[in-house]
Chain A
Amino acid sequence: MKLFFRGVFFIGLFLIFAARACYAQPVSSVDLVSNAAKFDNTRISYEGEAIGDIMYRGNFAWVNLRDGANAIGVWLEGSAAKTIQRTGSYQSKGDWVEVVGIFHRACPLHGGDLDIHAETIRIVRSGRAYAEKFNIRKRNFALVLLVILGVAWILKQLKIR
């Protein structure tokens, strides 16, 4: 019985330490940039919208994730990057992605960049295409200006003649 409790105690202790070691603190980009020293080389969780290009480099890829304030570069395996279907641009809202990985204030592998080396990624929300609504007010204003421009042009031509 005594041996059983000891076993339970040590297993519990192991689980607590293992959980602490694996725990990834969710952090915003503002925190990461302004307190980079504090988070340097720690496991963090960061989420944001995938923006721009997914840049494949060999078996890995760069994805930039923007959480609203800043975009941060995430270095991840190419196969993981392929799970991102849509990236943010004028025409679309990108997938909202959560990454868990090691944060580097000045990454020794990537020329001192502030980045995250992702271990796991998860698509939190899928992106979508934006449907651009044609702005009627702007169109009407442009038409009014076109008439005024025509009059101004005629006035200038009359003067020349």
Chain B
Amino acid sequence: MRVCLDDYPRWIHYLPTFFSKNMILKPSIEDVKTIGYYLGKVIVGLGCVMLLPLILGVACNELNPALDFLISAQISLIIGLLLIKLCDTDKDLSWMQGMIVVSLSWLVAMVLGAIPMYLSGHWNSFLDACFDSMSGFATTGLTLVQDLDHMALSHNFWRHLIMFVGGQGIVIVILSLLVKGTSGAFKMYIGEARDEKILPNVVNTSRFIWLVSIVYFVLWTTVLGFVGIAEGMSKGSAFFHGACIFMAAFDTGGFAPQSQNILYYHSAAIEIVTIVIMILGAINFRLHYHIWMGNRREITKNIETVAFFFSVALLFVLVAIGLNQMQVYPHTSTLFRKGFYQFISGHTGTGYGTLYAPQFISDWSQLALVGLIIAMALGGAVCSTTGAIKMLRVGVVMKALFQDIKRVILPDKSIVIQKFHHIRDVFLEDHQARTALIITLAYLALYGIGSLVGMLFGYPFLNSLFESTSAAANVGLSCGITSVAMPAALKITYIFQMWAGRLEFISVFTLIGFFVAAIRGK
């Protein structure tokens, strides 16, 4: 099967065909072995990633935290090596296997990533640690951590590192280094909700994504470090916070080193820098590539940036009118600073905030909240680190709508052609509109399901919708529902939303189908 991704994700059309053929077939032992082999490689890679906070712990004389990471890394390596040994195979991945490796890897990463967190004693239960682990890997930012202000540097670093790894895509990050063949890596690349290749080879694509991320890491950590020093922080603290904030902002995550999030700094300069980083994180890596190659006109022509600009402009007007209704902020400048920061943080899917969670309900009108919820639900660009519906789909759906309106208005015999510009001019085809609409509907359903569960536990509608959208769109802003006191079932619902929202459903559906086939297949 040859899959072309040049203009738009057509792969989705091949998957159901394959899927429906195999749905009734019981997975073979070869399927399980291939999945186990690649899963083992991912787990070994994750164990190696844990060595970074281990080194930091030793360097900072944090011996018990270092032991936490040593234990977690060893558990990961043992499981990974045993899986590789037991499932040893030289077969490449099929589409179904690739999707299942991805969806399982994220669940396994959540559990293994939660081990050092739980051992630190900063989470009340292993479920809470799993919640934060999934929130980190999925770059959401909702948190159940306790006493964050006394957390060891190595544990704090881990919280942000998992956002950095998760933002690039756990599986592709690890497998681009560990898998020899590119075909299997390509299937997992697609499974991790990366719709587009930047370079012809998927391994080179993921390496380019890493190059961009590391160049920005050095640049923006330096900037944030110097801004921190200028704002009165000590040198060590400023650069540590700078590194953590960059990782969480660029990967549109939302964790911060202190419990007050960005409010801790009381700094307009840090807010401005983080806004720039959040927007960079919300831009398509393919667009980054073209900008790096000198094609700056692409910024103004690309359907995603245009859609993002209009969305920001229109929705922020709603938010600003809503905030003005409440008369909480004394000046226009303060209204803009508070309103725009939370808004852009929500729209890019980051979740950084300069407000306490209950203030969304007490200080923001319902209109402002609705504007923010819509922004969170839409998200940033495809092939970026954001979650949610994403701008390309919004643009395509709008174009399809205009096309249909034209068809109705114009004479029957006229041929209506709709074009959009995404790296190059693309003629809009029905299958593109359908794909965009299916994913959009799936997201809307996911937001709705989480809201319903929230309401089942007695939370008001708007609060439930806010928190559910924030979880499913991998944003991380909270209006106060997310707390250690919330019911375990709601925690599990949000974990599912973060997972499904990050992977954009297909690999999750494939995993569910795999288990159904394992039980009911022949």
Chain A residues proximal to chain B, CB less than 8 Å: 33-34, 36-37, 51-57, 61-62, 64, 66, 70-71, 73, 75, 88-90, 93, 105-106, 108, 110-115, 132-135, 138-139, 141-142, 145-146, 148-149, 152-153, 155-156, 159
Contact = CB atoms under 8 A, between A and B. Distances in A.
Contacts of B153: 90
A62 B74 contact: no
B334 A112 contact: yes
Interface in B282-308: none
Given A66-B149, A112-B334, A134-B63, A106 B358 contact: no
B486 interface: no
B74 A145 contact: yes
Contacts of A37: 362
A106 B328 contact: yes
Contacts of B231: 55, 57
A156 B70 CA distance: 21
B81 A153 contact: yes
A91 B62 CA distance: 9
Chain A's interface: helix, strand, loop or mixed, by majority? mixed
B68 to A, nearest CB: 7
A113 B354 CA distance: 7
8 contacts: A37-B362, A53-B233, A70-B260, A89-B150, A114-B263, A141-B71, A142-B74, A155-B85
A158 B446 CA distance: 47
A124 B62 CA distance: 29
A105 B63 CA distance: 41
B424 interface: no
A114 B359 contact: yes
Nearest to A89: B150
Nearest to A130: B150
B201 interface: no
Interface stretch (B100-108, B264-272, B375-383): B264-272
A158 to B, nearest CB: 9
Contact of A159 (B68, B88, B271, B337): B88
Given A36-B363, A108-B331, A112-B338, A152 B232 contact: no
B150 A115 contact: no
Nearest to B267: A55
Given A33-B359, A152-B81, A52 B149 contact: yes
Contacts of A156: 81, 84-85
Given A52-B149, A152-B85, A112 B74 contact: no
Interface residues of B, number: 52
A135 B67 contact: yes
Given A73-B264, A135-B64, 5 more contacts: A52-B264, A54-B232, A70-B260, A106-B329, A132-B62
A51 to B, nearest CB: 4
B368 interface: no
B342 to A, nearest CB: 11
Which 8 A-B pairs have CB atoms at the shortest separation, nearest pair first? A55-B232, A112-B334, A145-B74, A112-B338, A51-B149, A152-B81, A108-B330, A138-B67
Contacts of A112: 328-330, 334-335, 337-338
Nearest to B259: A71
B77 interface: yes
B264 to A, nearest CB: 6
Nearest to B333: A111
B63 A64 contact: no
A37 to B, nearest CB: 7
A37 B73 CA distance: 49
B119 interface: yes
Contacts of B74: 142, 145-146, 148-149
A61 B266 CA distance: 10
A73 B260 contact: yes
Contacts of B268: 111
B356 interface: yes
B518 interface: no
B266 A106 contact: no
Contact of B77 (A64, A115, A149): A149
Nearest to B330: A108
Contact of A106 (B77, B82, B258, B330): B330
Interface string B234-272: 100100000000000000000000111001111010010
B362 A36 contact: yes
Interface in B129-155: 149-153
Contact of A66 (B63, B70, B259, B362): B259
A71 B266 contact: no
A19 to B, nearest CB: 29
Interface in B323-382: 328-331, 333-335, 337-338, 354-356, 358-359, 362-363
Given A52-B149, A71-B259, A34 B358 contact: yes
A89 B233 CA distance: 14
Contact of A132 (B63, B88, B355, B359): B63
B78 interface: yes
B483 to A, nearest CB: 11
B68 A138 contact: yes
